Amino acid sequence: MSSAMNIEFYTMTLWIAVIWPLVLSIPSLHSRLPWPRHLALLPAAVLTVIPIDVSIEIPWLLYGTGFAIDGNIRWILGAVVVIWFAAATISLPAKEKASSNYSTTFYLLSLAGSLGVLLTTELVAFFSFSTLMGYSFYALLIQNGNSARQRAGRLYLYVLIVADIALFEALLLVAFTTEHFQYEMVRQTMADISSSSVYFYMVLIGFFLKAAIWPFYFWLTAAFKSGSRTIALLLIAGPVTMSLLGLLRWLPVRDDIYRLGLIMQLLGAAAILHSALKIFTSGIFKQGLTRFNTTWLIVAFTGLLSFALGTTMQNPTLSQHYSYIVYPTISAFSLSLSLLILTTVKIHSEPESVENRPVLIINTFHKLKKWLHSTQQLASGLKLKTLALWDKSGSFVIKQYQHICSEQKIKFFVTDWKTNITLFLILGLAITWLAI
Amino acid sequence: MNWNDWIPLLVLMSSLLPGLLIFSLAEENVQTRVMLNLFGALAKLALVGLMLWGVYHGHHYETRLPLLPNLDLVLRVGPLSLLFITLSTILWLVTTVYAIGYLEDSPHRSRFFGFFSLCVTATVGVALAGNLISFLLFYELLTLATYPLIIHRGTEEARQAGKIYLRYTISGGALLLIGTVWLYSLTGSLEFTPKGFLFNIGEQHYPALIGIFALLITGLGVKAALVPLHGWLPLAMIAPAPVSALLHAVAVVKAGAFGIIRVVYDVFGVEFSAGLGVLKPLAWLAAFTIIYGSLRALFQNDLKRRLAYSTISQVSYIALGVAIAGPIATIGGVVHLVHQGLMKITLFFCAGNLAETLGIHKISEMNGVGRRMPWTMAAFTIGAFGMIGAPPIAGFISKWYLGLGALNNDQNWVIFVLAGSSLLNAAYFLPILHRAWFMPLPESWPDEHHFGNKETAWALLLPPLVTAAMALAAGLLVTLPFSPLEWAKLISVREFYQP
């Protein structure tokens, strides 16, 4: 393929990555496909390995919009794809159930919203996709849930409505000031006007609520407490990560907002202290990591980010020096917490428990092997050597994995929290180091 | 008269003639009635398409027929009238398809479709009217054409609702007539003119003009359901669903709102109105209606009544946009004329589907209905989110321009009204969606009808899906040349702010 064709392909992938899950969300379509939740991630997965920065302009929404991917976004996209893939795998629905069709619809709408938020280049589209993600996530949160989950859903819904109204007001202020909605333009423009403080507070309220940053963490604890493992994973990959991203993209940059920076620092510090207190008084050393502790880890991290943002607002030179680290850090945070949830956190209210998860994993290996075998048959039928070779190497890898992850070993692996928290820290550090 | 002079009259005739023919048809002559209905709707659509192209390229269409000494019946096509005609024509076609399915085995269908066509004729006449007297004629014709539709079921409750409707609308019409006559006696003209025709009038007449403004707006406010003149609207919900859809989205309430736009911009002129000090009270009244309608909607268990109170609230956005009096708010108000129509007709179609298919009339009966009728409820969801103002559905665009217009005109209090309205809209629409999608299915429905393996009849299902898609497209593809927003911008520039 020529270079121009390559770029054409990349641009198309960018656009399809968002549209594809939306199309697949139609129940009569995804109910006819195998593994629709995984299929929906394919274009996004391809995007993560595209070697160049690409963008596309689309004449939609109020002032036209666009999608783009660069080095920073690729970090978060990678984490998002991995987490959504993991969530899709552990939540494989029974195909014949109508209720799982609806669950898949909301799952895919939420995914489309997240990818849209991530890849879009301007505020109005960000807001639109964020709304789509939020309401679809609400549906996921409460579907087939008990009263605790319904309550968590209600809390999340209230938060969502208030946050969206605040962000809408912020958008109006932007529109009142400028007709350019690209992130950088807005951050610069809103820094120079007198109504910047109102804008700042609206953005702060909107995203603090959506990202569950202290003191608005109450909905997160309720959702985490009542939701399934899938919900816990998607909470991180969806509302929390995307709202942190929103905070980074919407907040204005200026050097005379010492007071506002201080507010963020104070809130961040309070979040960290409060979380630390909660984690250490919750019997972590006796009980290991529970979903309660994990929630507070999230609150601590979002607080840390708030503190860091507040610091850079007081001293913009810091922002210039360390801005490159922010995206990989968020990415590392999301991945690490997801790993923690997948391997350690005790979840009781979902069908698959810690005890039977190793069996599930091994079943997945069997399924994968069966699938590879069928592709090999197809490949030999079509006389495609590459596919056959791929199957052989795939089978070899699976064999090795099966050997390593014998049932006993997995059981040990998933229940030993010390091992996993070490892994969590190592992974976080490794990703941050790689980014730097 | 050349060809262009006949087109406005032809647009009127395209629904009037089929309507008159339908009256004469026997009840069992179903095919001819359907053909006549569809032929009229498609012919009107073709004519409107032609005019759209013409007006966009600067053509002028006007029919002038003598009516009274010095007063003609004027039918004039401008961007504003065309926007309203396009809306009513498209939605008439969709509603006709829906009504054919809805009234499949009902009695008195010839009577129904005859008055239905007359109702559309009157609405198009209201839109085309080039002066206040022509407007008044069609406005009154609309009252008379909709009354038989409201009492169509023939029940005592329907007749009672019809009586109240007549009381309100005839009183409103009388006030409008008094205002019109007073204005004519004062100025000697009733011709709609961009920027109004009163700017040369002496200051000694200002108190009289304020009185005339109050009379005209009160007369129009009855149909636009401004509080406290809204009492007829929730009662009129007794009418069949296609009538409710047409009343709320195209015909009656929109005629009132459209009239308010005409009076403020083409009779008084926006700057002159602002100078008279009449726009602020109108803005406050509209804001109060927005909040009041939403609050009342919150406590209704009857689905159609909740939608009716929602209409009372939403139509006042149009009056609010006009009263804010700036180019951007004008865009918001005018575009909401179309957007509210698309969203509200979707909601009423869905309410009709639920009633016809499952016998559901109350919100408390809607548990799990999303699983039984997913396409209908998907359309309802789009309509409801549009009403809340969620992007990228049409309602978001309206709220955007209204809010921006308010900021531009230093009327920041409007932002709080919009935020409060969004909050209340969410409070009364989201519980419905929650019930429909997430509550367990009941053991049985109040009155279930089966349509094979489909959730309902195609003629009932297709219209809400089409209008929901249009509401979505109107929000998503706003930058296209013929989108309602681009048309509203054109109106703002051509009719109100061109030197």
Please list every residue in chain A whose beta carbon sits closer than 8 Å to the beta carbon of residue B326. none
What value does the mean pLDDT take over residues B182-192?
93
Choose between B80 and A315: higher pLDDT.
B80
Please list every residue in chain A whose beta carbon sits closer than 8 Å to the beta carbon of residue B408. 176
Alpha-carbon span A335 to A331, nearest angstrom:
6
Q: Identify the segments of chain A with pLDDT beneath 50.
A: 96, 347-358, 386, 407, 410-415, 436
Q: Do B438 and A98 touch (CB under 8 A)?
A: no
Nearest neighbour of B438 by CB, restricted to A63, A142, A165: A142
Q: Do A139 and B392 touch (CB under 8 A)?
A: no
Nearest 10 degrees: Cα torsion B51, B54, B58, B60: -50
**The pLDDT of residue B361 is above 90:** yes
How close A411 gets to chain B, by Cα (Å)?
A: 36
> Would you state the pLDDT for residue B475?
93
Q: How many CB atoms lie within 10 A of CB A304?
A: 17
> Would you state the pLDDT for residue A398?
59
User: CA geometry: angle at A247 spanning A246 and A249, to 5°?
Assistant: 60
Helix (H, G, I), strand (E, B) or coil at A65: strand
> Would you state the pLDDT for residue A191?
78
> Would you state the pLDDT for residue A414?
46
Q: Do A168 and B478 touch (CB under 8 A)?
A: no
Q: What is the ipTM of this complex?
A: 0.91
Going by DSSP bridges, is the β-strand pair A54-58/B71-77 parallel, antiparallel, or unpaired? unpaired
First to last CA, chain B: 29
Q: Do B437 and A102 touch (CB under 8 A)?
A: yes
Please list every residue in chain A whose beta carbon sits closer than 8 Å to the beta carbon of residue B393. none
Q: Do B422 and A168 touch (CB under 8 A)?
A: yes
- Tokens (6 digits) for A190: 């809103």
Nearest neighbour of B404 by CB, restricted to A102, A164, A175: A175
Q: How many CB atoms lie within 10 A of CB A346?
A: 14
Nearest neighbour of A98 by CB, restricted to B371, B419, B426: B371
> Would you state the pLDDT for residue B447?
92
Beta bridge partners, B129, equal: B75
Q: Where are the domains of chain B?
A: 340-499
The confidence band for B99, taking pLDDT boundaries of 50, 70 and 90, is very high
Nearest CA in chain B to A130: B391
> Would you state the pLDDT for residue A361?
52
Q: Do B390 and A98 touch (CB under 8 A)?
A: no
Nearest neighbour of A61 by CB, restricted to B407, B423, B478: B478
Q: Do B403 and A27 touch (CB under 8 A)?
A: no
- Tokens (6 digits) for A119: 């890849």
Please list every residue in chain B whose beta carbon sits closer than 8 Å to the beta carbon of residue A168. 389, 399, 403, 419, 422
Per-residue pLDDT of A306-324, as tens digits, reads: 888 888 877 777 777 777 7
